[in-house]
Structure 1
Amino acid sequence: MIAIFSDTHSGDGHELEGEALTAVREADTVIHAGDFTSEAALEAVQSECDLLYAVHGNADSAAVRERLPTARTVEAGGVRFAVTHRRDGGETGLAMFGRSRDADVVVFGHSHLPTVTETEDLLLLNPGSHADPRGNRPGFAVLEERADGAALEGKICEPDGTILESFELAVSASSDGEDTAR
């Protein structure tokens, strides 16, 4: 399982609860698109999961910015993820960022709005914010391998497990674990 988060915005912990906390604890890989806000929040998320790939966001402290890149590329579950907090140019800028990294999915945050947008050649995924939704529904995303292994079934959920949106991603034969940070 791959769990995807963004916009924690916490001063002293992760504020994960319910199905969101379960997803972090059970995931093979956790991806976070930035704005932990504090080093304590980053460390709290790290303490709950086995493998965390994260970037920093615009609201992160200097200590978090020193520890995390602004963007990175990760391969997990046969899918290549380009991760950033935000990009100028909206959907076009995000898609260009993903294409420049040969990604299948661009994971981003910043707006706190849970969103899945399919473009011609990749998926743009904002998991929302489970802790600080700012007028949006709180959210996080989970991807799990389909029974036949040919795709990942994805969903954006609220912390209580309510599904906001479902989607599917084809799986390639790429190797898991590649991580490049820039």
Structure 2
Amino acid sequence: MRLLLTSDTHLPLRAKRLPDQLLAELPRADVVLHAGDWVDEATLDLLESRSRRLIGVYGNNDGPGLRARLPEIARADLGGLRFGVIHETGPAQGREARCASRFPDLDVLVFGHSHIPWDSTAPGGLRLLNPGSPTDRRRQPHCTFLTATVADGALTEVTLHRLPPRRPAP
């Protein structure tokens, strides 16, 4: 099972559209996970229409329309692993222990908010993944997203995709 993980798309505030490289991955993914801060409902509509299966949550920048359509926390069993998706997990310091305590029933937690890619394992084995942002790199050198594979109850081939810099609008 191939996964596409993204977050913090912030359209149309940070970019006018999703990057072509991310859009090209949509048909290859069995499941798309979006960890919030969509900002506009059109992005949700687009991912719903182009994804085989979409699992998403709302973020702190998402208004009433998105909050009415999306949960704060989503859970799904994917390929024998228990996934959770949430927007914010708090400060980086202590994140692993805090998330392991809060989500003892998960194998993988996908989160966003910081725009900083993250891949770590908490005590007890909880894998924490933040795909960064495909549209707003903030203090990072690149905009990013993640792909991964789930096979036989294991998460493999977790790949951080660095996007080329956006060209300024003409």
Shorter-chain TM-score bucket reads 0.7 to 0.9
TM-score (norm 1): 0.77
Q: CA deviation at 1:85?
A: 0.3
Asked if 1:95 is matched to 2:119, the reply is no
Percentage identity across aligned positions? 35
TM-score (norm 2): 0.82
Match of 2:80 in 1: 78
Secondary structure of the residue aligned to 1:156 is strand
Secondary structure of the residue aligned to 1:23 is helix
Q: 1:138 aligns with which of 140, 143, 148?
A: 143
How many corresponding residue pairs?
156
Match of 2:40 in 1: 38
- Residue 117 of structure 2 aligns with an amino acid whose one-letter code is P
1:64-109 deviation digits (Å, cap 9, x = unpaired) = 011101001111122211110013465033232321xx11111000
Q: CA deviation at 1:159?
A: 3.2
Secondary structure of the residue aligned to 2:109 is strand
Aligned counterparts, 1:148-163, within 5 A: 149=152, 151=154, 152-159=156-163
Asked if 1:124 is matched to 2:112, the reply is no
Q: CA deviation at 1:61?
A: 1.5
List alignment gaps of at least 5 residues for structure 1.
161-182
Q: CA deviation at 1:62?
A: 1.0
Q: Distance in 2 between matches of 1:58 and 1:141?
A: 21
Q: CA deviation at 1:19?
A: 3.0
Q: Distance in 2 between matches of 1:14 and 1:55?
A: 21
